[in-house]
Amino acid sequence: MAFLDWTWSCSDWVLLLLFTGVALYFWGTSNYNHFSKQNVPFVKPLPFVGSMGPSLLRKQYFPQLVMSTYNKLKDHPYGGFFMFKQPVLVLRDLELIKAIAVKDFEYFTDHRSVLPTDAEPVWSRILFALKGQRWRDMRATLSPAFTSSKMKTMFVLLSECCQNFVHFLEQCYQQTQQNECKIEKEGDLLIVEMKDFYTRYTNDVIATAAFGIGVDSLKQPTNEFYMMGQDLTYLGGFRAIKWLAYMAVPKLIQKLRISLMPAHITKFFRSLVLDTIATREREGIVRPDMLQLLMQAKEGTLHEDNSAVNKKMKLEDDDIIAQAVLFFLAGFDTSSTLLCFASYQLAVHPDVQSRLQEEIDETLQEHGGRFTYEAVHSMKYLDMVVSETLRLHPPAPSVDRLCVQPYILKANPPMEIHPGEMLFIPIYALHHDPSYYPDPERFDPERFSDDNKHNINPMTYLPFGVGPRSCIGNRFALMETKLALVYLLSQFTLKVVSRTPVPIRIVQKGFNMSIDGGFWFGLEKRKS
């Protein structure tokens, strides 16, 4: 019997490598004619990485990439770029944005899949990830949890967290509190890394307002709830590689059933939620928090009108766990980042801070020295400061929409969009477009004064998204942010110190933006 000779020469290996390289190149660029064949302007992609090269090489953080793409498509109502191999249509024209996100929403009801369903049985059930009718039912089920009346009920829980953190700072100021947090004392100033500080505050807020757990992350800096939050929002090492792989080849990751979220975090939240529910049901405990509202939704008693949603939407334990975790994820890092950027702007603009403190003092006096729900929401200048911070530093640099029905984009030229194709609304770029906001890099709360805010086109200010899929928890996030600022500024003044990075250099850490060097400020005790 003759045997095949499997001995390969050097030239054979060269040919194999050459063939493999050519095959990979054609695979990695196979979709890059998507826009050119339709005569749509687009940002020219690189093999495999598409238009993501500057972000992957850390030459641009993602909001800068969004801005760069937006500017390259100037003078066009829309244009394309490539997220790795996937073509993405970027909308610039405000009427197109309104049509896609609001008027013709039924054609674009979904987001791109952010988590593989089979590998993430809990995380794939979060409201943001749901699609079609399942999303509609869940949104309708959860909406009553975010009404003004429910926010007013949870206001008391948030106030207790604010009182705790101000009391802690006062103890640090008097040097009676030893702490392991990033808080130091220099003369008459507390030197504070505000990201660490605010994250501990938002952790305690979410613990009590969502899960009904009393946590003090300033006095107990390594408590399990806080450490799990840090782990959950960490996006580095092998986890970052998995996320990049999912963005680049989502179908392959889904087929391999690779989990993007660590199993121990899922196990922790599952145990926490189910044990808390069991305890409440057994002992008849009722609390004004998010978990209680989800329990009511499961029982069909959240909607007082006994609507069809009560009867149609059947919540399972994993649904409750998923929404509680989403509430945690959104509130833990995103709100603390907003508070950091607001603090930065107040510290470097002392005139704005002084005016805000005057409003806080006057409001306190009018309401008998107490911060009530009505008092905080009556502060117009506070709202102006927070709104301008959200314009400069929106939580999400862009939002996506996924086409679910064939659609003709009514523009010049018109474009046919097919199911499965993705569109981007470039929030960061709209917020920084000088056509809509003169001198857009300047912090100016007056843009949102009663005299000026009517001049702002609603499609150019989208910090919480737009249309039916806008952020369901925006009221809670604003309340959480405003209340923290009010309590802090009633007792302290934010100061620029030697460790404060001026001017700031934005960097990306995890899912959110930060600044190079950290958010270090001085806190000076106000005279009573």
**Sequence spans of domains, the chain:** 40-525
Phi, psi at residue 213, to the nearest 5°?
A: -115, 130
**Tokens at 10, concatenated:** 């050097």
User: Is residue 245 very low, low, confident or very high in pLDDT (cuts 50, 70, 90)?
Assistant: low
**Tokens at 242, concatenated:** 């998995």
pLDDT at 27: 64
CA–CA distance from 210 to each of 21, 292, 420, 436, 454 (Å)? 51, 8, 34, 37, 35
Distance of CA 146 to the CA centre of its chain: 17
User: Is residue 235 very low, low, confident or very high in pLDDT (cuts 50, 70, 90)?
Assistant: low
User: Is the dihedral angle over the CA atoms 227, 230, 233, 234 positive or is it negative?
Assistant: negative
**Tokens at 401, concatenated:** 């929409």
**Entry pTM:** 0.89
Over residues 38-91, the pLDDT tens digits come to 888 988 888 878 888 777 777 778 888 889 999 999 999 999 998 888 899 999
H/E run at residue 509: strand 506-509
Residue 318 contacts residue 173 (beta carbons within 8 Å): no
pLDDT at 22: 66
pLDDT at 117: 64
Bridge partners, 81 (sequence order): 88
* Residues near 341 by beta carbon (within 8 Å), at least 6 away in sequence: 389, 392, 393, 513
Which residues carry a binding-site annotation for heme? 471
pLDDT at 392: 96
What does pLDDT average to over the chain? 85
- Amino acid letter, 172: C
End-to-end Cα spacing for the chain: 101
User: Is residue 258 very low, low, confident or very high in pLDDT (cuts 50, 70, 90)?
Assistant: low
Q: Which of 306-315, 402-411, 437-446 has the lowest mean pLDDT?
A: 306-315
Of the CA atoms within 13 Å of residue 337, those in its CB half-sphere come to 23
**Tokens at 56, concatenated:** 């992957």
Which residues carry a binding-site annotation? 471
CATH entry 1.10.630.10 includes domain 40-525:
yes
Give, to the nearest 10 degrees, the angle between helix 335-348 and helix 194-210: 140
Over residues 463-518, the pLDDT tens digits come to 999 999 999 889 999 999 999 999 999 999 999 998 888 888 877 665 567 777 88
- Say how far apart CA 403 and CA 479 lie, in whole Å: 33
The arithmetic mean of pLDDT across residues 191-200, rounded, is 91
- The fraction of the chain above a pLDDT of 90, given in percent, is 39
Over residues 350-373, the pLDDT tens digits come to 999 999 999 999 999 998 888 999
pLDDT at 244: 67
- pLDDT of residue 319 exceeding 90, the answer is no
H/E run at residue 291: helix 290-299
Task: Return the SS3 of 513.
Answer: strand
pLDDT at 431: 98
- pLDDT of residue 181 exceeding 90, the answer is no
Task: Return the SS3 of 500.
Answer: coil
**Tokens at 208, concatenated:** 């009590």
